Amino acid sequence: TAGLGDFNMQLDDDYNGKVVKGCPAYEEVRQTSMDGFDLSKYQGKWYEQKFHDWTQFKEVYDTTLDIKLTPDGKGWIDDFGVKGPSPKSAKLSWDKSPVANGAHYFLFGKVDDRDPVGVLRESGFGVEFPNYIVDVQKDAKTGEYTEAIQFQCLERGGVRVFEGINYLSRSPTMTDAQLKEMHGRAENAGMVPYGAGEDQMHTNERRDVDAPPIDNTWQAMWRGLGVDKLLELLTEAIEDGGR
């Protein structure tokens, strides 16, 4: 069954009797945890735990974002990895999919000195949009970032046409209590009217991180047809095209 987020067409909408128009400024949602933010420490693999995004298929699973800065620190490459369909959404066929072992799409970003620290200009799916890093949590001992909340919002002519929210963690899994705390931080940031409510976000399904790659007769057939090589070529073409 579809969640409420599927029916939010991202237009100006009514929230608790109040019309929410357009997109908020970064300063309206930015949390104090972003003080002293170091983009270089934001690099590396993140596991997407929950998302609100009507363009993102809910049937995928094991979604990750692997972020790498360019040498000059002014750009970044976001390797968006997915597998699909998920075991729960397609119980009889998930392991027969040609992308059961994953596929990649690259998003490309730039750091504009005119933007506040924590705002990244990202390009993907044919559009450029601001990616707000709203909140980060740190390891008490190392200071490394362990959790993050991202928010993308796009408006045209004062009308909100897209919103995306990502709950990210360095760990493949999070407890219900940890996710509830993340929802609380998003609520404090004023993001619930834009889709951060528990009933408007989808929880990513995830296999055990140590689970072996899928290898069966179907996967052998895809390899025989060269689908794995085609996916590699597409990945390389997308990556090269963004440089």
Question: Residue 10 — pLDDT band, cuts 50, 70, 90?
Answer: very low
**pLDDT at position 93 over 80:** yes
pTM (predicted TM-score) = 0.89
Q: How does pLDDT run across 25-42, given as a tens digit for each residue?
A: 999 999 999 999 999 999
SS (H, E, C) the chain: CCCHHHHCCCCCEEECCEEECCCCCHHHHCCHHHCCCCHHHHCEEEEEEEEECCCCCCCCEEEEEEEEECCCCCEEEEEEEEECCCCCCCCCCHHHCCCCCCEEEEEEEECCCCCCCCEEEEEECCEEEEEEEEEEEECCCCCCEEEEEEEEEEEECCEEEEEEEEEEECCCCCCHHHHHHHHHHHHHCCCHHHCCCHHHCEECECCCCCCCCCCCHHHHHHHHCCHHHHHHHHHHHHHHHCC
Predicted local confidence at residue 17, as pLDDT = 64
